[in-house]
Structure 1
Amino acid sequence: MTGLVFHPTSANVLYARTDIGGAYRWNQTASSWTPITDGLGFGGAESSYHGIESMAVDPNDDRLVYMAAGMYNTDKADARLYISSDRGDHWTFVNLPFSTGGNNGGRAMGERLMVDPNKPSTLFYGSRTAGLWKSADSGRTWAQVTSLSSVKMTQDQIKAAGGSAMGIELVVADTGTKGTGTATQTLYAAVAPDYASVAGLGSNLYRSTNGGASWTALTTPVSGYHIPHIVRSADGPLYIVFTKDAGPGAGGPARLYKFDGTTWTLLKSEDPNGGTNFGLGGLSVHGSGASTRIALGVTNSWGSWSGQQIVQLSDDGGLTWREIEATMPGETASGWVDDVEIDPSNRDHILHVHGGGIVETRNASSTTPTWHGNIAGIEEIAAQSIMAPPSGASYLLINSSGDVGTWVHTDVAAKPTRAPGLGWSNGISADMAWSDPQYIAASGAINSSNTGTGYWSGDGGKTWTTFASLPAGAATNTSSESSMAVTARNKAVWAPANSVPSYTTDNGATWTATNLPALAAVGWNRGYRLAADRKNPNKVYAYDSGGAWWASAGRFYVSTDGGHSFALSQGSVTASLAPNGWGVTSMAVNPNVEGDIWLADGNALYHSVDSGASWQKLSQFASVQSGNPWPDLQGASIVALGKAKAGAPYPAAVYVVGTVSGVWGVYRSDDGGATWTRFNDDAHQFGGIGVMAADQNLYGRIYVSGTGRGLLYSN
């Protein structure tokens, strides 16, 4: 979670933005969050727009909300501004003339997007790479504010800034009025050190007193720092945070100042001494005068103990401070306290974001405030692989996710408890022995050291043991382009990213390389997809998608000795499988029939009933292509097989993520691909779907990961 935005006067109108999982609106009646970016405009080709860089509300209209979206900054004009007049139930969008970086460093700064309270058709945006921008027509068109700077960073300059340019970090209107019809004249813009350097700007803070027509550099108490937040109090003074690093979880030194337009007053200082390196992040102000309440997030301060700082509170305008979260009752969340908000309608209600969601207290004035997580309705894990076991297994699915590792789910309505317990880790791939699903083999990465690891469970995920050894490539190739196929207890084939697959027959004590060809470099990570035939585990299938759309055509390989040696299917050569990247290709086997395989090559769907010797291309799925060399909508990117419909002519339900007659979605066939019906609808698109599995116990149930929108299921 990267930001919280309250409407300033309408109670309980609150939005939350995330770095890869879209945005949410608070539902006071249900005490939960409602996703507002799952529908139309956030579909199969639009996953990058689930990285929300900034949000803004119109102080005069509590139904109007704006949202700037785009996951990573570049020198291109590839971001969007979404506009809703019904609090996010429906959206329209316009293309922005710059990029955004919702998942880049510094993603909690802001808000970069500002609606002028007095003339709400006027919007300003502080871009990461191209300076300050203004719209005079409620965001429909934009022009660069060249009076501040006309510089647009090149890709080399962005790269020199570490790939995450910070640019103009935020815009603030200095006004206590709204709806006057006359544009606010006094504005402040914070300039990051990287943009100040390339644009030749001499300060990190600029002021305009004529609505942005001209700008004056201000002399600040510290220079070369980031300014993640500026808040104007009701009686006029600005509270301004300076911190050395960009965040999230920025390190210090850091300062909080009060600024009345002329004089700077130091209120709080964090210096890297005594073994600490604390920064300052989130900032919120409530009230005015001598009793002004200030909530201040302390960043990079991990842990909770006496003397620790997480959220500092002042009730006298910053003269004195007390800690209100560390060691307090309930759930504490330190480190990434990059946005803190005091509820405008309830000063005792304080919330802040962190790496794992949102925490809040509703009794902030207490000497011992109680904190708890406020994440009901939010799903934001990034699943890299999900696998459903055979019918009757003791669990529902294996979830391999980024940052939180591998989990075995036994109940869709409860948090999982079965995991290897590796802490901050990535789960990458997993499989189970179909005839003995209590045996699970999985791969992952330890994020603190960026080293690969593998592990197994013999009891359905209750207990885990790390493999005694790793196959070639597994320790260093830790990206998600990895696959695992289990043929029987203690026997598995593992394809680490960018590596030749290896097999083990002794539960990971030793690994032996297969004869599959080495993968040529294509400029990004690639890998073999593996699958064991569920009716004949001596058969193992390997699919090389080519690695990129400009690379060699896809190839399919078959092993009849448990994955020890493979032979190329000449039928896959004849089929002319499209070359494509790992993320838009897939393979699935029918667990009920030997040699029955489905393959999605990104552009089309293929079916083989003879273990890959020959392939039938299904005509219904086709990519939507425009002027780009890559499709706007992929024809078929994921395929999964689940329990068949009772009485159906084909012994599995087939689910495909792809495009039929120009409409992207999830499609199901009950007759082996002869006919297809759309399974999802326009309201359930989730920014695209990254991985999918189908249940073997219940017809009609699928599990999907909507890129960063968490792990979801439908019956």
Structure 2
Amino acid sequence: MQGETTSPTTKQQSRLASATMRALHALPLLLTAAPIEAASSWTSVHTGGGGGFIPSIVFHPKAKGVAYARADIGGMYKLNSDDSWTPISDGIAQDASWHNWGTDALALDPQNANVVYAALGLYTNSWDPNNGCIAKSTNQGSTWTFSNLTFKVGGNMPGRGTGERLAVDPANSNIIYFGARSGHGLWKSTDGGVTFSNVTSFSNTGTYREDPSDTTGYQSDLMGLLFVTFDSTSSTINGATSRIFVGVADNVTASVYESTDAGSTWSPLTGQPGAFLPHKCKLQPTEKALYLTYSNGIGPYDGTDGAVWRYDLTTSAWTNITPVSGSNLYFGFGGLGVDMLKPGHLVVATLNSWWPNAQIFRSNNSGLTWSPLWEWASYPSTNNYYGLSTSNAPWIATSFWDVTNNEPLGWMVESLEIDPFDSNHWLYGTGLTIMGGHDLTNWDTVHNVSIATLANGIEEMAVTGLVSVPGGSELLVAVGDDSGFTYLSSSNLGTAPSTNWMSPEFTSSTSVDYAGLAVADVVRSGNAAGTQQIGVSSNGGSTWSIDYGSSTTAYGGTVAYSASGDTVLWSTASQGVLRSQYTNSFASISGLPATALIASDKQNDSYFYAGYASTFYVSSNNGQTFAAGGSLSGASQINYVVVHPTIAGQVYVSTDAGIYLSTNFGSSFALLTSALKNVYEIALGVGSGSTWNLYAFGTGSAGSKLYGSANNGNTWTDLQGTQSFGAIDGCKLAGSGNVAGQVYVGTNGRGVFYAKVTITGGSTTATSSTSTSNVKTTSISSSTRSSSTTITTTATTLSTTTHSSTATSSTSTAACTVGQYSQCGGSSYTGCMNCASGYTCQVQNSFYSQCL
């Protein structure tokens, strides 16, 4: 489903299975700070549109201009006066705390505009091994403290758009309530969020499961409690608000409960609606009324029926104010905005009206009558009472609105808010972006409002592949839900693309690669059966076409392009490893296990490489067959394979034991470094002069994070510092092929970051696998953050032993041959020097000779 990623990466799933849960009643705050100003060292690659589901937007009730948004997998953001957003959780989701980018609830202290609370955690099932926490900031998200919970929190679980599950007592800043999932009930803090205890007097922990038969636990978990709403107009008892409402995912007995004694006792509201699940509950204090939206699904994807109700706090009377009925009611309701300056004025949104568009209704008389944002004219035409603009993210119009003309108003609309200080200012979250505008009251007069995408600064994409092409496109980004993006040069990284990857537009792209000797040739794979899932480009990813050699049943996995761009190797998710040459049909490859890691030599068209478990494989016949290559002695798991962009046969392999290097086309390997263990993705990028930097996600002296080496692994620098990238085993990595010292990190939910780094320890040179290395003292540096884009370092040291091995090449450089356009010589070149019959090795420059 576009605009939403629901599950962790395969690597994350394997790592999650080994963790255990702690059972503690209430823990004190863990005092760890993450200054958001430090994030200036790492900059987001700009899309301008968000890219994923925004479950909630929250305005402060008493402080003008203070508002926040939460993403399900991409952290939290603070609204700026120019409609842009600033991330406020980029320092709290390091590798060990990666699930802190999942946010299931937000709450603001009505008495203190600087205080923000959030319920953090991603999954309540086994995908996330960690219990959740309640995070607190006293400076609008600049720093955070954390109170650990004894159970999990589900920021990316079903029902994540309901709420808010977290609320601060408007009469007492020390009192915070949290409605938990999974049958854990209602929790309360009386010390400003330092500790939380179960409210045992609240006994209904929910009965609704989206799909009780789901064995993964994702849809079969109890949805639990859905919202906590205080009646600020009620009296106080011992300094606490006396009247509180709690919503429960229970469509059997009762779903809305009330306390009139400050939470001591609870009872279901008399006469409340049945059958449906409540999603939002908003107080209009002047009217002394509650407004509630209902759906027959928990959201954010489902719902085929629903209602909107008003509850009078004075008379206890319920009124059904649902805007439509009969055959016009084919959806549930989610988003609800109540105007605080104009009592009786409100807007409600369809949760999912999948065709032909979302619908928003507005009432000026407390729901007695409604007017829609659009309505049918002469079918299939509609009268649209709005205008659309997407100047912040032009690709949204190009790739969504202009293609299908369906659902330009969005989908999964769970949050719809009116600024409490400006009746014209409204925002709503969708499965793709944030939308809204500044002329809402025009609805009441000319009945035509201006709606724009307003998610500038929010980068919420799950990145599945990154490539920077030497001499070609600066950055190719494959993403989930939104296909992918091309940035032709480094100067484009701060500009929202005019289009995403289209023709074909895969809902999710899974991989991207380029041809080393024909750098304008690019290939990518998609993740949906039913259509061809290979796209090719001959202009660096500016435009694409379908590779009709691919079938409609193969999908997913990773792709590798041969050096000259004549052959595609595809390790699919569905049909093993496939090969196509000259855009002919893909055929199965013998000798490789299904889902093997694959890579192509970037200078020699004959060679492809692969890895599975601890075995390395080599093909010297353009991917037709593979055989076992050199041994990775001491390693039990290959995690990634990368090939030097300009040196044929120089292959790096990351493993649980460290990084291994071959300089003879994978015939033999030496352990390049053991300073890093459990190394995941690695990448090469241009360094100073003619050298290349090596980048790696692994565990070193500074912890599990991103490191860089400018001397081929002899010394390493911590490049990450306090910047969060989430789980490092799910991150994607690319070194710039064109800008010295520039490195890119793709995250699972926060888009792409980049920085121009300085690495201590000398220049990079190729290391021969025949050399013998002795024990060295290796420098690993802890980075400090500054306002510039260069990371400075303070060195610490560790000792590492570099193992040696004697390499015996099975392919002599004097005897082997390479084909047309392949490299055959140059400074530091160690590959084949003979050209195939009919071609001559011709010098192009001192570093590169080519068969022509």
TM-score by length of 2: 0.73
Q: Which moved more, 1:586-595 or 1:110-119?
A: 586-595
Q: Structure 1: give runs of 5+ residues left out of the alignment.
A: 520-526, 547-553, 623-634
Alignment of 1:319 with 2:405, yes or no, is no
Q: Which residue of 2 aligns with 1:616?
A: 671
Q: Which of structures 1 and 2 has the larger relative contact order (alpha carbons within 8 angstroms, sep 6+)?
A: 2
Q: Which residue of 1 aligns with 2:698?
A: 658
Alignment of 1:294 with 2:352, yes or no, is no
Aligned positions of 1:29-428 closer than 5 A: 30-39=82-91, 41-74=92-125, 78-129=131-182, 130-149=184-203, 159=215, 162-163=219-220, 165-176=222-233, 182-193=239-250, 202-235=253-286, 236-261=288-313, 262-271=316-325, 273-274=327-328, 277-287=330-340, 291-302=343-354, 310-324=359-373, 326-331=384-389, 332-366=408-442, 367=446, 368-391=448-471, 393=472, 395-410=473-488, 411-416=492-497, 417=499, 419-423=501-505, 425-428=507-510
Distance 2:166 2:532 in 1: 40
Name the % identity: 27
Report the Cα offset of residue 654 of structure 1.
Answer: 0.6
Q: Which residue of 2 aligns with 1:431?
A: 513
Q: Tell me the amino acid that sits aligned with residue 415 of structure 1.
A: A
Alignment of 1:510 with 2:585, yes or no, is yes
Report the Cα offset of residue 302 of structure 1.
Answer: 4.1
Distance 1:288 1:708 in 2: 36
Distance 2:609 2:434 in 1: 43
Q: Tell me the amino acid that sits aligned with residue 679 of structure 1.
A: L
Distance 1:713 1:222 in 2: 51
Alignment of 1:486 with 2:562, yes or no, is yes
Q: Tell me the amino acid that sits aligned with residue 559 of structure 1.
A: S
Distance 1:336 1:187 in 2: 28
Report the Cα offset of residue 27 of structure 1.
Answer: 1.9
Report the Cα offset of residue 638 of structure 1.
Answer: 1.6
Q: Which residue of 2 aligns with 1:555?
A: 615
Counterpart contact for 1:595–1:610, Cα < 8 Å: yes
Report the Cα offset of residue 177 of structure 1.
Answer: 7.2
Report the Cα offset of residue 108 of structure 1.
Answer: 0.9
Report the Cα offset of residue 68 of structure 1.
Answer: 0.8
Q: Deviations over 1:511-545 (max 9, x none)?
A: 232223434xxxxxxx222111112221111011x
Q: Which residue of 2 aligns with 1:637?
A: 680
The SS at the match of 2:708 is strand
Counterpart contact for 1:119–1:179, Cα < 8 Å: no
Q: In the superposition, relative to structure 1, how do residues 456 and 576 fare at CA in structure 2: closer, same or farther (>3 Å)?
A: same
Q: Deviations over 1:390-442 (max 9, x none)?
A: 22x2x222221111113332221333336233456111112121111222222
Distance 1:690 1:452 in 2: 27
Alignment of 1:703 with 2:744, yes or no, is yes
Q: In the superposition, relative to structure 1, how do residues 327 and 713 fare at CA in structure 2: closer, same or farther (>3 Å)?
A: farther
Q: Deviations over 1:3-36 (max 9, x none)?
A: 10111111111111001111101122x5421111
Distance 2:341 2:450 in 1: 25
Q: Which residue of 2 aligns with 1:441?
A: 523
Q: Tell me the amino acid that sits aligned with residue 567 of structure 1.
A: A
The SS at the match of 2:387 is coil
Q: In the superposition, relative to structure 1, how do residues 561 and 178 fare at CA in structure 2: closer, same or farther (>3 Å)?
A: farther
Alignment of 1:569 with 2:640, yes or no, is no
Distance 1:496 1:169 in 2: 40
Which structure has the greater CA radius of gyration? 2
Alignment of 1:674 with 2:754, yes or no, is no
Q: Deviations over 1:38-65 (max 9, x none)?
A: 11x3112333221111111111111111
Equivalent position to 1:590, from 632, 644, 662: 644
Counterpart contact for 2:536–2:545, Cα < 8 Å: yes
Distance 2:180 2:214 in 1: 13
Q: Which residue of 1 aligns with 2:51?
A: none
Distance 1:157 1:120 in 2: 42
Equivalent position to 1:455, from 532, 535, 547: 535
Q: Deviations over 1:434-468 (max 9, x none)?
A: 1112222221034xx67661122223334433222
Q: In the superposition, relative to structure 1, how do residues 452 and 177 fare at CA in structure 2: closer, same or farther (>3 Å)?
A: farther
Counterpart contact for 1:18–1:51, Cα < 8 Å: yes
Q: Which residue of 2 aligns with 1:632?
A: none
Q: Tell me the amino acid that sits aligned with residue 467 of structure 1.
A: D
Report the Cα offset of residue 214 of structure 1.
Answer: 1.8
Q: Deviations over 1:685-711 (max 9, x none)?
A: 456561011111111112221221012
TM-score by length of 1: 0.86
Equivalent position to 1:466, from 530, 542, 546: 546
- Superposed CA RMSD in Å reads 2.7
Distance 1:578 1:92 in 2: 38
Distance 1:675 1:338 in 2: 50
Distance 1:12 1:151 in 2: 36
Counterpart contact for 1:270–1:279, Cα < 8 Å: no
Q: Tell me the amino acid that sits aligned with residue 47 of structure 1.
A: W
The SS at the match of 1:415 is coil
Counterpart contact for 1:22–1:37, Cα < 8 Å: yes
Q: Tell me the amino acid that sits aligned with residue 349 of structure 2.
A: G
Q: Tell me the amino acid that sits aligned with residue 259 of structure 1.
A: Y
Counterpart contact for 1:63–1:85, Cα < 8 Å: yes
Counterpart contact for 1:250–1:281, Cα < 8 Å: no
Distance 2:171 2:239 in 1: 6
The SS at the match of 1:365 is helix
Q: In the superposition, relative to structure 1, how do residues 73 and 211 fare at CA in structure 2: closer, same or farther (>3 Å)?
A: same
Report the Cα offset of residue 270 of structure 1.
Answer: 4.2
Distance 1:576 1:317 in 2: 71
Corresponding residue pairs, total: 657
Counterpart contact for 1:192–1:225, Cα < 8 Å: no
Report the Cα offset of residue 231 of structure 1.
Answer: 0.5
Q: In the superposition, relative to structure 1, how do residues 204 and 701 fare at CA in structure 2: closer, same or farther (>3 Å)?
A: same
Counterpart contact for 1:418–1:461, Cα < 8 Å: no
Distance 1:687 1:15 in 2: 24
Counterpart contact for 1:252–1:272, Cα < 8 Å: no
Distance 2:753 2:102 in 1: 18
Report the Cα offset of residue 666 of structure 1.
Answer: 1.9
Q: Which residue of 2 aligns with 1:625?
A: none
Q: Tell me the amino acid that sits aligned with residue 532 of structure 1.
A: S
Distance 2:235 2:72 in 1: 31
The SS at the match of 1:45 is helix
